[in-house]
Structure 1
Amino acid sequence: MMNINRLIRQVKSYNPSADIEAIKKAYQFAYEAHKGQMRLSNEPYITHPLWVAYILAELRLDTPTIIAGLLHDSVEDTSLTPQDLREKFKDEVAQLVEGVSRMGEVARTSEEEKTENIRKMLIAMARDIRVVFIKLADRLHNMRTLEFLDHTSQLVIAHETLEIYAPLAHRLGIGRIKWELEDLAFMYLEPEAHRELERGVAKARPELEAYIEKVISLLKEELKKIKIETDISGRPKHFYSIHKKMVEHQKSLKDIYDLLAIRVNVDDIKDCYGVLGVAHALFKPIPGRFKDYIGMPKSNMYQALHTTVIGPEGRPVEIQIKTHKMHQTAEEGVAAHWHYKEGGAWDERFAEKLGFLRRFLEWQKESIDTQEFMEELKIDVFADEVFVFTPKGEIKELPKGSTPIDFAYAIHTDIGFHTAAAKVNGKIVPLRYQLNSGDRVEIITSPRTTPSRDWLKFVKTSKAKGRIRRWFYDQIKKEGSSFKETTLPEPHREKKEHPSPKVSYRSIGVVITGVDGLSVHLAKCCSPVPNDKIIGYITQGRGVVSIHHQKCPNLFKLLDDPDRITEVSWDNREGKPIYYKVSLTLLARDRPNLLADILLAISSTSTVINAAEARAIEGGFTRCGFEVAIQDKDALGKVIDKIEKVDGVIEIHRSQSR
């Protein structure tokens, strides 16, 4: 059972000089704040912040982070305010708690709200990484107690955990949290596959462990001869990693030979290579299965030597070799480099490890599409990486699937703009060639070369996509500036002094105030319908007013040019019915006849369906998209209500047209 004494023992185990009185004070404050509140498990609510603080203490984090873990729900779930925290605790603690509270929950929100909450989380992470440590600890304990939620909530939260939180823990190198989050999510998303794998591994484990012990004994005997002190153990692979390998390689459990790996920890780096030499002398190495993550560390700071050898009885065995410090980093990642001493601070040498995050957020200023943000997040922040070399031997890290164009923009924007050709390992390759780790890349530039729109079809990184789009945007602005004055003589600057009569555009039922002679169309990015709050934007050079929802994600970009904004409203006069195209996106549990049932539900409202699509995604889910013809917001609400009642539907929202 978790209690304050257990938490304090854990903190003292790694930080004897911790301010224990401050931790006790925070616990008492949280206890009083949550008094009378119960979790769905029928436990007092205070057990949750205690567990969050304990998980943070297992990561050996500093006292302010432990205190913030105890208080992380006190502002959001009680009557307390940030000011109350500032009066009782240090500003540092209050800022951490506010940072966690501002993130909001990702689950059970619309796609736009979900994206915004993830943006907030990444921004908070860039400012103070400890905020995300708290969020990960919070999510881990919530996953451990997920059994008490209803089935739909379990699926939504587990899917989000696998999609966002586990990859985030991986990117930060916190292996122990990543593995547990993945296994817990897998258990809820694919319970049958999880149970079958659990039974299979349990059955095979005694024999596997006996075999691994045999290999360890042989290794220890040889290492003792050359006097290398080691700590050797057999590490069971995690269920989700085994499941992924089975799915990706279409293999059964009996065909997965590395259910257990041998882990060798030593004192220093030279001993790592000494152990490798012994292992390769003792057992035959499998070609292509050696990886040196010491010479070329992963982006999440993971370092080790990995090799797979042919062990006794001709069976393959994976061996992982690290120093003790590398092992700690593999378990705790970025958290291992946070000084836990009172008054300690972030080690600046490791602050640069979060550079990927700041770069991503900077590049995203040029990306305003919700779905695109999520796709590029998974590529730039969460995807596997490749390491390639410049002609001078410098290492560049890029997402897997990157091309020479991505490499060029990673070197410098101007090099990207003027890329004419590329050489990989001394040979000319197509610009869409996908780079592999170890490739030596040389970019050939020409002052006459400029970006091609085709590049957007295959570049991978946000930086490359953003810079290419910006280049074309700037060209359009340059071309448009020559006729701006004659085509758009600033018509609505005069609207407050000399308002023009209202002009009704019956074709789509919108009234524009103060502007004559312009046609109207509904923006496809947000597809507004009657009763939505709308705003008009006069497009450059086309003489058209584009109608946007006031919550359109593109709006902040449009507001960069406020002179083009004009007042618009829906025309409520009686007349011939007008229909509007609306795109809907939903997430559902995959099952037979799902799409047919959803189409039937929509049709029962007498709504016209223009298009429908469905695709299976990871975790046994299906993502569906529909375009329907709607008269107004009320009619849209009826359609959504009907869809939500279809068995298996988890969430639905209006989406941007692609």
Structure 2
Amino acid sequence: MAEYLTPSELKKVKEAYRFSDEMHLGQMRKSGEPYISHPLAVAEICADWKLDAQAMMAALLHDVIEDQGVTKEELIERFGAPVAALVDGLSKLDKIEFQSQIEAQAENFRKMLLAMARDVRVILVKLADRLHNMRTLGSMPPDKKRRIASETMEVYVPIAHRLGLNNIYRELQELAFSHLYPLRHRTLYKAVKSARGNRREVVSRILETVNSTLTAAGIQSLVDGREKTLYGIYRKMRNKHLSFSQVLDVYGFRVVVDSFANCYVALGTLHSLYQPMPGKFKDYIAIPKLNGYQSLHTTLIGPYGTPVEFQIRTADMHRVAESGVAAHWLYKEDDEGNLTDLQQRTHAWLQSLLDIQQQTGDSAEFLEHVKVDLFPDSVYVFTPKSKIIALPRGATALDFAYNIHTDVGDQTIAVVVNHEAVELRAELHNGDIVEIITAPTARPNPNWLSYVRTGKARSAIRHRLRTFNQTESLALGKRLLQESLEMLGLTAEMLPPVIERLLGESSTKTLDELCIDIGVGTRMAPLVARHIMGLMENSMDPDLSLRDVEGRKLPSKPDPVVIHGNEGASVQLGQCCQPIPGDVLIGYLKHDQALIVHTEDCETGKRQREKETDRWIEVVWGDDLKRRFNCRIKVLINTRKGILAQVAMQLGESDANIVYVGMDEDPQHGSLQQLRFTIQIEDRVHLARVLRNLRTVEGVTRILRERS
């Protein structure tokens, strides 16, 4: 710290330490250590990143508001407004009463993320705080360990990745994995440790050959082996259905060269040394990742026929790859024109957080939108003027329109992709050229919510529907709810006794707000009506006789709820059984009026029904289904050359889109291999046709639809 801070800045940091030590005097951590050891450790991590004096002071003081009742005003007086603002952004909202722990947690994240949008140092200090807490999590009770580890994996790991803090990203991921799945972590650790000795000869041979080849080509370079993290190994085994040996058989190396041009020269040199694998080259230098990451990635066939992955980059690229936005963030005011590409991209993302907040009133909804944008898989598309736009994988043409500007998205009437007109819901792919056609009188459609992918688009559509169409949405929502109530033999006059519980469980303040949600498409009227009926049936109030005004008993078996698969967040298809049209359905009505749909024979659904029998309702498919549905199948094969290509070709000829493919040994029949596919199909009839066609492929012995 003394290496880069001035004497006057060091004096202020020491003053912050003395104040923090005084405030935490007598306070102990769960481990038995004095509490001041935690702020000191956080400050040490921040010093490694060379954060400025204000951030160091905030690191030392980050718990004094939350734990010791120090006011923000007192911090302003002692240490100045910028430091107080940083500490306030890091402090939790313990003083406010929330309806639930989930709501409190969502509001904490909302506050932290918004503070980060105004000053990125907030999240850098927060990540340092979370890193030290994860390093010392061993003294916590098991249930708290799992909760903190789960929260870390779900929110802080993606944020670290989004900001390019790869060292922190990897360590947080490893620590969270070790506490979430301790047995799996220990098993993998032992397996990797024993396997390293067998790999040493291959690694040494590759390093020696690559170093001598690059030196002979006149390229100054530093080559080292890349160890896979345990979580990286576990995730690859799980997602791709690979065995441990298959994952560990891929060797990874990093090549750091002295200049931009030599990245490509080194690539050509390596390709002349080992044979490249087709389709395994990515140029993240020409098109960097969203978090600023730049490298050339290539996979080659190395010694003994083993795959070898290489990352090629310059020293500057390597520094950004490891430290991301912390590598060279500007804390002083500066013109945007002087910012690096990485800083401009980060600034744009942080600004989008503020945009989402302005359009979203609910903390849980805000966090839902932000989490959608945190996951790193991206597609890169072009505007007609050749500007590159990065979007999350699966983003639609409408997401592109809202990425350009909220007004463009609101007024979109048509989209042209690669000079051809497409639907607004069309999914975009790398390299697409996208043109948006607008009309000043156009406005968002509630159906858009069922297929937009980005948080920015979703929050903008909901905001516009609420503000511009509020009167219409309220009237529509009331009409739809009234119709649904009447189908159950209920009337609006029967609601007052249960209205308070209804609003509490739906997180809305008034019945009008609930009706507006129905009108804009974020809730389904039949589900809200079923929820009301359940509240009335379970009420202990003797005045609720569940008879209508003419004294007739309510229907004992209401009509099933009709779904079409595009209802958005209000209806979710169970991932355990992945229902498709033609399946017999059953639905679980959650307390927030959302519906989880399972097939009737789903084992997971059966277990849940035994626990909460009164929350299950009949569900049926609608008639007009204009979308495809994911379905998992397993194909057992006798391995022979080209069989995978033949199976994939047969799927294509059967008009089934392949979403995922994996291959491993069949544990029950050692001589067979099993291919696992996730395909997109129309219904059970389409699935039957696909399976019938696959049976014609020579070598296919059995085909199963996977439900687990």
Q: Same fold per TM (> 0.5)? A: yes
Match of 1:270 in 2: 261
Moved more, 301-310 or 424-433: 424-433
Please tell me whether the aligned partners of residues 162 and 181 of structure 1 are also in contact (alpha carbons under 8 angstroms): yes
Larger RCO (alpha carbons 8 Å, 6+ apart): 1
User: Which residue does 2:495 correspond to in 1?
Assistant: 508
Equivalent in 203, 214, 219 of residue 210 of structure 2: 219
- Following the alignment from structure 1 to structure 2, what is the Cα–Cα distance between the partners of residues 448 and 120? 36
Deviation track 1:359-412 (CA, whole Å, cap 9, x = no partner) reads: 233134334456543432221233422111123211011111101121123234
Contact conserved, 2:107 with 2:364, CA < 8 A, in 1? Answer: no
- Structure 1 residues 242 and 108: alpha-carbon distance in aligned structure 2, compared to 1, 3 A threshold: farther
Q: AA paired with 2:429?
A: N
Residues 251, 307 of structure 2: 8 Å contact kept? no
2:329 to 324, 329, 338: 338
> Is residue 2:201 matched to residue 1:210?
yes
Deviation (angstroms), 1:320: 0.8
Are residues 180 and 324 of structure 1, via their aligned partners in 2, closer, same or farther at CA, if it must alter by over 3 Å? same
Q: Does 1:360 align with 2:353?
A: yes
* 1:152–1:282 Cα change, 3 Å: same
Q: Is the 8 A contact 1:60 1:340 kept in 2?
A: no
Paired amino acid for 2:49: L
Deviates more, 1:132-141 or 1:260-269: 260-269
Deviation at 1:81, TM superposition (A): 3.3
Corresponding residue to 1:387 among 376, 380, 386: 380
Q: Map 1:567-606; keep pairs closer than 5 Å.
A: 576-577=543-544, 583=591
Q: Does 1:95 align with 2:85?
A: yes
Mapped to 2, the partners of 1:123 and 1:247 lie a distance apart of 35
Query: How far off is 1:184 after superposition?
Result: 0.7
Normalised by the length of structure 1, the TM-score is: 0.71
Partner of 1:296: 287
> Residue 224 of structure 2 aligns to a residue in which SS?
strand
Q: Does 1:54 align with 2:6?
A: no
> Within the alignment, does 1:329 sit opposite 2:320 as a pair?
yes
Which one-letter code corresponds to 2:391 in the other structure? Answer: L
Q: C-alpha distance in 1, partners of 2:282/2:26?
A: 54
Equivalents in 2 of 1:444, 1:122: separation in Å? 33
Structure 1 residues 367 and 64, CA, compared in 2 at 3 Å: closer, same or farther?
Answer: closer
Task: Indicate if the aligned counterparts of 1:62 and 1:339 stay in contact, CA closer than 8 A.
Answer: no
Long gaps (5+) in structure 1: 1-10, 484-504, 511-519, 547-552, 555-572, 587-592, 614-658
Q: 2:654 maps to what in 1? A: none
Q: Distance in 2 between matches of 1:300 and 1:151?
A: 34
Cα drift, residue 229 of structure 1: 1.5
Q: Distance in 1 between matches of 2:7 and 2:280?
A: 45
Asked whether the 8 Å contact 1:18–1:63 carries over to 2, the reply is no
Instruction: State how far apart, in whole Å, the 2-side matches of 1:528 and 1:81 are.
Output: 34
Report what 1:123 is aligned to. 114
CA 1:259–1:24 in 2, change beyond 3 Å: closer, same or farther? farther
Q: 1:425 to 1:122 in 2, by over 3 A?
A: same
1:363-382 equivalence runs, <5 A:
363-368=356-361, 372-382=365-375
Paired letter, 1:264 = V
1:576 partner amino acid: D
Determine if the alignment matches structure 1 residue 141 to structure 2 residue 141: no
Query: Secondary structure at the residue paired with 1:256?
Result: helix
Q: Is the 8 A contact 1:418 1:451 kept in 2?
A: yes
Measured at CA, do residues 196 and 449 of structure 1 come closer, stay the same or move farther in structure 2, by a change above 3 Å? Answer: same
1:75 aligns with 2:65: yes
* Matched-pair contact (CA < 8 Å) for 2:410–2:444: yes
How far apart, CA to CA, are the structure 1 residues paired with 2:2 and 2:213? Answer: 39
Question: Deviations 1:430-454 (Å, cap 9, x if unpaired)?
Answer: 4433222222234456789765443
Q: Is 2:235 the partner of 1:244?
A: yes
Do 2:290 and 2:345's aligned partners in 1 also have CA atoms closer than 8 Å?
A: no
Residue type at the aligned position of 1:81 = T
> How far is the alpha carbon of 1:600 from its aligned partner?
7.8
In 2, Cα distance between equivalents of 1:412 and 1:431: 16
Deviation (angstroms), 1:269: 1.0
Cα shift readout 1:580-607 (whole Å, capped 9, x = no counterpart):
x992699xxxxxx99999888879xxxx
Query: Does structure 1 residue 86 correspond to structure 2 residue 94?
Result: no
1:433 is aligned, of 408, 423, 426, to: 426
Question: Structure 2 CA distance, aligned partners of 1:194 and 1:278?
Answer: 38
Q: Is the 8 A contact 2:24 2:35 kept in 1?
A: yes
Shift of 1:479: 5.7
- The two structures, once aligned, show a CA RMSD in angstroms of 4.2
Match of 2:21 in 1: 31
Candidates 209, 219, 226, aligned match of 1:228: 219
Partner of 1:299: helix, strand, or coil? coil
Identity percentage over the alignment?
A: 40
CA offset digits 1:467-496 (Å, max 9, x no partner): 44455556645769999xxxxxxxxxxxxx
Change (3 A) 1:184 1:345: farther
Letter in 1 for 2:495: I
Return the letter of the residue paired with 1:334.
V
Q: Is the 8 A contact 1:356 1:381 kept in 2?
A: no
Q: CA–CA distance in 1 between the matches of 2:40 and 2:252?
A: 34
Query: What amino acid is the match of 1:583?
Result: H
Aligned pair in 2 of structure 1 residues 143, 414: CA closer, same or farther (>3 Å)?
closer
Q: What is the SS of the residue equivalent to 1:40?
A: coil
- 1:49/1:521 CA distance change after superposition, 3 Å: closer
Counterpart of 1:183 in 2: which secondary structure?
helix
Please name the residue that 2:452 is paired with.
459
Q: In structure 2, what is the equivalent of residue 488 of structure 1?
A: none
The equivalent residue for 2:304 is 313
Deviates more, 1:135-144 or 1:370-379: 370-379
Cα deviation digits, residues 185-213 of structure 1 (max 9, x gap): 11111112111211121122223343222
Q: In the alignment, is the contact (CA less than 8 A) between 1:284 and 1:311 conserved in 2?
A: yes
The DSSP-based 3-state class of the residue aligned with 1:432 is: coil
SS of the residue 1:289 aligns to: strand
Secondary structure at the aligned position of 1:76 is classed as helix
1-structure distance, mates of 2:513, 2:241:
52
Mark the CA change 1:482 to 1:44 in structure 2 (over 3 Å): closer, same or farther: closer
Quick one: distance in 2 between partners of 1:287 and 1:103? 53
Q: Which runs of 5+ in 2 are unaligned?
A: 477-491, 524-539, 547-588, 595-602, 620-708
Matches for 1:102-113 after TM superposition, within 5 Å: 102=92, 110-113=101-104
Q: Which residue of 1 aligns with 2:563?
A: none
1:153–1:413 Cα change, 3 Å: closer
* CA shift in 2, pair 1:77/1:523, >3 Å: closer
Confirm or deny: 8 A CA contact 1:115 1:370 kept in the other structure. Answer: yes
| Aligned positions, number | 532
Offset at residue 226 of structure 1 (A):
2.8
When structure 1 is superposed on structure 2, of 443-452 and 81-90 the one drifting more is 443-452
Is the alpha carbon distance of 1:278 and 1:334 closer, same or farther for their aligned partners in structure 2, counting shifts above 3 Å?
same
Matched-pair contact (CA < 8 Å) for 1:232–1:263: yes
SS in 1 for 2:453: coil
Residue 290 of structure 1 aligns to a residue whose secondary structure is strand
Report the AA paired with residue 393 of structure 2: K
2:168 is matched with which residue?
177
Note the 1:466-481 alignment, pairs <5 A: 466-470=459-463, 472-473=465-466, 476-477=469-470
CA distance in 1, matches of 2:288, 2:367: 26
CA–CA distance in 2 between the matches of 1:94 and 1:70?
A: 12
Give the TM-score normalised by the residue count of structure 2. 0.66
